[in-house]
Amino acid sequence: MEGSVIDELIFSVSFVGIGIYLVWVLILILFGQDQKLQQTQLKEPIEQLIILVPALNEALVIRQTITNFVAQTASLPQVKMVIIDDASSDQTAQVVNETLQQLACGSKVQLLQRYLPEAQQGKGEALNWAYQQLVEPLAPSLRKRVICGVLDADAYMDEAAYLRVMEHFAFDPELSLLQTRVAMFKEQNWLQKLQDIEFVIINNWIQNIRNRLGNAAASGNGQFIRVSAVNGYYPWGNALLEDFEFSTRFLLQAKATHYASEIVVYQEALAQVRPFIRQRARWTQGGLDCLVGYWPKILLSKAIGTKAKMEMTFYLLLPFISLATGLANLLVLVFVSWFIQLYWPIVVSLLFINSCFNFYILSIYEHETRRLGIIKKLFFMTIMLGYNYLFYFAIVLACYKKIRRQTKWVKTTHVGVGEKA
C-alpha cells in the first residue's frame, strides 16, 4: 500500500513537471519564430539618436566601445554617444578623454561625470541624471523626433543596426519603445557559448511571443525610447531589474512597444560560473521586486490585454515555477536511480524530451550563426542539461537576498575581448 502511494506521488510530480515544460516548449516553438518584416512609408524622420552608456569602472572595455561606435556611425551625423562615468575608481574617465583626443571625433562622443556622494546610486539613477541634462534643453516640438538608447559599456552595434533603429521609429510615429536582439561576441568557452545560444534563440523566441501579444519588453542592453513618450525626466526606475520595470510602466500607460529581432547588439559573455550565478541572481531578485510592486497593477490594467497579462504573470512567477519543476524533476531522477529497473521509463522520458528540445535549439542556432558542427552540437546538447541547473542556484541566492533585504550588488565586471568577431 505504501509503495503504491509513493509510486503515484513520483509519477504525479514527474508528469506535472514534464507537462509544464512541454507546454512551454510548444509555445516557444509554435509562436516564437521571427515574423516577416513589413516595410511601410517613412512618416517622420528621426533627427537625433542619443546613445547613453552607463560606465562604472569600465576602463578595460570603454576604449574599444568608443572606437567601434565612431567607426560604425561615421556616416550617421545624427547619432551621438554619451558616456556616463558614475564616479569610477579606476581610469574610466581618463581612458575616455584619451580616446576622444586620439579619434578627434568632436561632439560625436561626450563624457558626463558624476561624483560621490550623489553617484553610484544604481544604473537607473545614472541614466535618469544624464537623460535630464540632455533632454531638458530640447524644444517640445523636437522631442518626438529624438530617440534615446541605452547600451552597456561593452556593447557593439554596426551601422545597419543604428539605421534600422531610426527606421522603426520613423515608420511608426506611435512607437514608444524598441528592444533589439542580444548576442554575444567571441565566445571562448562553453559557458559563453551557452549564453549566446540562450540569448540568440530562447530570449528571441520569448520576445517574439511578446510582440504577438503586444507586451514587448526592454531587456537591458539595446533598448531605445522616443523622448516625447516619457512623462518627465526620469524614465528609468532604480530596481535591480530597471529595464522590465521601465517597460512595464510604458505598457501600463498604453504606449506602443516593439521587439526588433533583425537588429542585433553584441555584448561580452561572462566566462566564469560564479559571476554568472551572481548576475542571474540579481536579475531574479529584480523580478521579485517587480512581482511585489507591479503584478497587482498589471492584473488590474485596462491597457494590457488578457493574454499579455498571462505572459507577464508567467514571467514574474517563472523563478518559482522553474525552481519547483526543476527540483521536482531532480528529486524524481535521484529517487528513481535507486530503483532504476522499476522506474527507468521516467528517466528515459525526461532525458529524451530534454535532448530533443536541446537538439532543436542547437539546429536553429547552427542555421542562424553557422558556428556549430556535429561534434560541438552533440557536446552542447549534453551540457545544456546541466546549464539549466545553474539558474536554480541563482534563484535560491536571489530568494535569500530578498529575504535578507540585501539589495547592494557587485556590478558585472567586463574584462574586454577586443573587436567583434
pLDDT tens by residue, the chain, 421 residues? 455 666 666 667 666 766 777 787 788 888 888 876 666 566 778 889 999 999 999 999 999 999 999 999 999 999 999 999 999 999 999 999 999 999 998 889 999 999 999 989 888 889 999 999 999 888 888 999 999 999 999 999 999 999 999 999 999 999 999 999 999 987 889 999 999 999 999 999 999 999 999 999 998 899 999 999 988 777 887 666 777 888 899 999 999 999 999 999 999 999 999 999 988 888 888 888 888 888 999 999 999 999 999 999 988 888 777 777 766 666 666 777 777 777 777 677 777 877 888 888 998 998 888 777 788 888 888 888 788 778 888 888 888 887 777 666 556 666 665 455 4
What residues contact 350, with CB distance under 8 A and at least 6 apart? 14, 18, 329, 332, 333
Helix axes 306-337, 204-213, angle to 10 degrees: 150
Tell me the C-alpha to C-alpha distance, in Å, between residue 335 and each of 8, 16, 21, 348, 380. Answer: 13, 16, 20, 14, 26
Type of residue found at 268: E
C-alpha grid cell for residue 180?
A: 533589439
- Look at residue 218 and give its three-state secondary structure: coil
User: What does pTM read for this prediction?
Assistant: 0.88
Peptide bond into 117 cis (omega under 30): yes
Gyration radius from the chain CA atoms: 23
